[in-house]
Amino acid sequence: MRNQRDAVNILYANSSGGIVISFIASCGLVFGFPNEKIEAYKTIWLAVMTVVLLARSIDWIVWKKYLSDTSFDPTTVTRRFVAGSMLTALVWSSFSLLFYAMDIIELSSTIIILAAMAGGATTVLSANRKLSIFYSSVLLVPASSVLAFSSQDFQQVLGYLGLMFSLVMIFSAIKASEFTSRAVKINNENADLLLQMENEKQAVQEANSNLEEKVKQRTEKIYELSNIDPLTGLFNRKAFLTDLNVFFADALKNNFSIGLLFIDLDGFKQINDTLGHTIGDKVLQLTAERIAKTVGNKQKICRWGGDEFLVVLPDLEADKASQFASSLVGCISEPFHFDNNHLSVSATVGIAMYPEHTVDADEIIRLADTAMFVQKKTQKSSVRMFSQDMKEALSREQTLKDGLALAIDHKQFHMNYQPIINSETGKVVTYEALLRWRFQDESVGPDEFIPIAEQYGSINIVGSWVLQQACQDIAQKFPESDCGVSINVSVIQLMQPNFLSVINHALKESNLAPSRVHLEITESVFAENLSLLKFQIQQVQNLGVRVSIDDFGTGFSSLSHLQNLGVNTVKIDRSFIRDFDKGGQAIIQATLHIAKQLGCEVVAEGVETEEQYQCLSSLGVKFLQGYYFAKPKTLDVLPSEPGETDERKRIQANHA
């Protein structure tokens, strides 16, 4: 089809010249040889030829204007062209047949013109073999044949010459058309090849661009995997540290400060443990969104660990960083509402400053973490700026923690005993066992190391050792007496499932009667499971051991605890005795009143003066303890008959 269309285009492209030449040649033949006899016929012939040529010209214009550049159907257009050309050939042929009785010059000229036209046709019409052969033959063969059979010699000669020329032209038309059709075919094949090449090139380009896109996507994915936390979409540790170093370099160049916030969520563990990880994850995502919104730039935030986030605040002084951190705490603490859940977490934030505290990226994170850690122990949901003494405190804590793990093996613990006196008789009823630790040539106080032992888990081993030692000491020192021993027990220790067997073991080993043992519980650590605490106390009491609430009125202890836990004794904290005149008296009276209602004994600790002793006695506090009577002492210096010794009198004698 395409070859056919190209052939038609060649025919039409060549035909305009052919039409013009045909018109000029016909005018030449008609007007070049005037002959009055046949002039009218010649004019008619010219008119016919002109009409045919005009029709062909119109056809050419139509092709040129509407078809040449389109994918037209070549069959009908070919038919039209062939019809026009054949008509022209027939009109030409008719000229020589109609007017062949010419003189020799006119006839020769006519034959020459027709031969020239036939010759031209072999080239001009070579795109259509049949037409080309037809045109060349029709123009000359009829006239030449007629002339060849003429009686006149010159006509015969012209006839034979015409016929021979026709044969040559037919041959030449065949050759030319073969050449043209091959050229068209090759041309189209080339075009096809070019198109194919173009398509292939485009396909390769597309494949390349797809490949580039894929490589780009993969690179982004790899970047994400290695730099972005998948849950929150924030930077992970690695990416954040890289960026932090860039911020530091910038700060060094432009001489500005940087604040680093270490954010640790408060209450997140409970959500995760009680509501499950899906809700926990959602809370983390929403928290990350809030932080990102407040900071305004995700590039400055990192998810450091489980519920820990970091924020870098470039070009910000310490006071502004603290203000920002406080607003962040406020924002994080707003309740979350999603999927019918109404939850809230809060956050404790530690801040360290560049270059004030350090110029090292790893170090600044550690320092901010330290500040957060210290603050979390004192007051959650708040902000703390790092300070050097904090670092020292933490390093001491670390040293003590490590030391505690080896203290029993290294025999660094020993017990001190401080009496509790019956204010009515002045006799010692119980000795409170107080743990002492000699560590690196220093005496470390229990107020310092017990919380560390509680925090890092060594309290259970230490507490078991104390229980055994205290029971054994008192049993050996006062084998015949009913003098008791008060042993301090941490809530963490008491809540251990094996606590009962520990105390049983201590009683069995020491052979001390359970009624001579008191456990003093301080709620320095809040007991989350109060019913379990109550159960454990009950179990202990079932053994015959009595239980006291120590430091009553401080920490987490409260009047409701007193009622719920069913303890035997309340030890009023020494701060109320010290501040007796500043409200302490009222609290002591209230405690006495409630204790009486609940059937509890009351002990007042920290009695340091005669005046305090008198006041407490007059209020009716039956049991007293404090430096006024005796300081804690080692076992070997205790009197062998506790009931016989009136410590108070001895101290009075010493004073005198």
Nearer to ligand C2E, 112 or 461 (CB): 461
Q: If binding is defined by CB under 6 A, does position 430 make contact with ligand C2E? A: no
Q: If binding is defined by CB under 6 A, does position 450 make contact with ligand C2E? A: yes
Q: If binding is defined by CB under 5 A, does position 488 make contact with Mg ion? A: yes
Contact in structure between 518 and 484 (CB atoms under 8 Å): yes
At residue 346's C-alpha, the angle toward residues 279 and 397, to 5°, is 110
CB of 595 to ligand C2E, least distance (A): 17
Nearer to ligand C2E, 280 or 606 (CB): 606
Q: If binding is defined by CB under 6 A, does position 490 make contact with ligand C2E? A: yes
Strands 623-624 and 413-422: antiparallel
Among the listed residues 317, 356, 363, 608, the single contact to ligand C2E using CB under 6 A: 608
Nearer to Mg ion, 184 or 577 (CB): 577
Tokens of 186: 């090759």
- Selection from ligand C2E, Mg ion, none that 132 binds (CB < 5 to 8 A by kind) is none
Q: Which of residues 520-549 bind ligand C2E (CB under 6 A)?
A: 520, 522
CB of 280 to ligand C2E, least distance (A): 33
Q: Which residue has the tokens 């013109």?
A: 113
CB of 432 to Mg ion, least distance (A): 6
CA distance to 356, 364, 367, per residue, from 387 (Å): 10, 12, 9
At residue 421's C-alpha, the angle toward residues 600 and 630, to 5°, is 135
CB of 317 to ligand C2E, least distance (A): 41
Nearer to ligand C2E, 473 or 550 (CB): 550
Total residues in contact with Mg ion, by rule CB under 5 A: 5
CB of 395 to ligand C2E, least distance (A): 22
Annotated active-site residue in 264, 266, 307, 551: 307
Nearer to ligand C2E, 161 or 512 (CB): 512
Tokens of 557: 């202890």
- Widest CA span of the chain, in angstroms? 186
Taking alpha carbons only, the member of 569, 570, 587, 567 closest to residue 578 is 587
Nearer to ligand C2E, 190 or 498 (CB): 498
CA distance to 388, 584, 614, 615, per residue, from 579 (Å): 34, 5, 15, 12
Q: Please indicate whether residue 307 is annotated as part of the active site.
A: yes
Q: If binding is defined by CB under 5 A, does position 59 make contact with Mg ion? A: no
CB of 537 to ligand C2E, least distance (A): 15
Q: Rounded to an integer, what distance in angstroms lies between the CA atom of residue 247 and that of residue 228?
A: 19
Amino acid at 526: F
Q: If binding is defined by CB under 6 A, does position 434 make contact with ligand C2E? A: yes
Q: Which of residues 512-571 bind Mg ion (CB under 5 A)?
A: 520, 550-551
Taking alpha carbons only, the member of 509, 510, 487 closest to residue 435 is 487
Rg of the chain over Cα atoms, rounded to whole angstroms, equals: 59
Is the CA virtual torsion 223, 229, 233, 237 positive or negative? negative
Among the listed residues 17, 330, 445, 620, the single contact to ligand C2E using CB under 6 A: 445
Taking alpha carbons only, the member of 112, 113, 115, 99 closest to residue 34 is 99
Nearer to Mg ion, 6 or 551 (CB): 551
Total residues in contact with ligand C2E, by rule CB under 6 A: 25
CB of 425 to ligand C2E, least distance (A): 20
CA distance to 173, 275, 434, 529, per residue, from 491 (Å): 119, 26, 16, 11
Among the listed residues 233, 267, 446, 643, the single contact to ligand C2E using CB under 6 A: 446
Q: Rounded to an integer, what distance in angstroms lies between the CA atom of residue 556 and that of residue 567?
A: 15
Among all residues, whose Cβ is closest to Mg ion?
520
Contact in structure between 519 and 540 (CB atoms under 8 Å): yes
Among the listed residues 283, 606, 635, 642, the single contact to ligand C2E using CB under 6 A: 606
Contact in structure between 313 and 261 (CB atoms under 8 Å): yes
Cis amide prior to 642 (ω within 30 degrees): no
Q: If binding is defined by CB under 6 A, does position 557 make contact with ligand C2E? A: no
Q: Which residue has the tokens 């209230």?
A: 590
Q: Rounded to an integer, what distance in angstroms lies between the CA atom of residue 150 and that of residue 96?
A: 14
Site map 561..600 versus ligand C2E, x via CB under 6 A: -------------x--------------------------
Nearer to ligand C2E, 397 or 520 (CB): 520
Amino acid at 595: A
Active site residues: 307
Task: Tell me which residues touch Mg ion (CB under 5 A).
Answer: 488, 520, 550-551, 605
Task: Tell me which residues touch ligand C2E (CB under 6 A).
Answer: 418, 434-435, 445-447, 450, 463, 466, 488-490, 520, 522, 550-551, 574, 605-608, 625-627, 632
